[in-house]
Homo-oligomer: A and B are copies of this chain.
Amino acid sequence: MTTPEIHPEIAHLAWLLGTWAGEGAGEYPTIEDFRYSEHVTFAHVGKPFFAYNQKTKHEETGLPLHAEAGYLRPVGLDRVELLNVQPSGIMEIYEGTVDGTTLDLVAVQVATSATAKDVTEVTRRITVDPEGETLSYRMQMAAVGEPLQHHLAATLHKQQ
């Protein structure tokens, strides 16, 4: 297996590629504050998209908490689409802007399965520092009748 060359339509987002690990914290009016450890991977196969995978674990017990998976699609040089699916029965399509090494994403469609909790709005900001060593994100969410507000923040470090 040789690593394919990155597709030119997504080469300007290569700063996202790799595995990132670190810690995050979550809060929401309807639940207790919580902390988690997290692994995020952005990978490519030579086609004009990145596969996105995320897993979080309880900091003390190591038990799995959240997971999500999806695909990031470039739209020209300064816009992206992110499609994301969660085992909790929630799927999101985001549209976003690229500003240097920052993505600002707004969910333009949120679809939930019949047995999932109600989520209506989500925004995410993903930033990599100029050295390419630290990825941080913030997520806001409107769900279960609560207005759009801060939900998650995490800081992850490039692995290897």
Interface positions of A (Cβ within 8 A of B): 45-47, 49, 51, 53, 63-64, 67, 69-71, 73, 75, 81, 83-87, 89-91, 93, 95, 108-109, 111-115
Copies of this chain, complex-wide, total 2
A-B contacts besides A49-B87, A51-B67, A83-B89, 16 pairs, CB < 8 Å: A47-B64, A69-B85, A71-B86, A71-B87, A75-B115, A81-B113, A81-B114, A83-B86, A83-B87, A83-B91, A83-B113, A85-B85, A85-B91, A91-B111, A93-B111, A111-B111
CB–CB B71/A85 < 8 A: yes
Q: Please measure, in the bound complex, the distance between the C-alpha atom of A51 and the C-alpha atom of B46, giving whole angstroms.
A: 24
Q: Please measure, in the bound complex, the distance between the C-alpha atom of A90 and the C-alpha atom of B81, giving whole angstroms.
A: 11
List 11 interface pairs A-B (beta carbons < 8 Å), by A numbering.
A45-B67, A51-B67, A51-B69, A67-B71, A69-B69, A69-B71, A71-B86, A71-B89, A73-B115, A75-B114, A83-B113
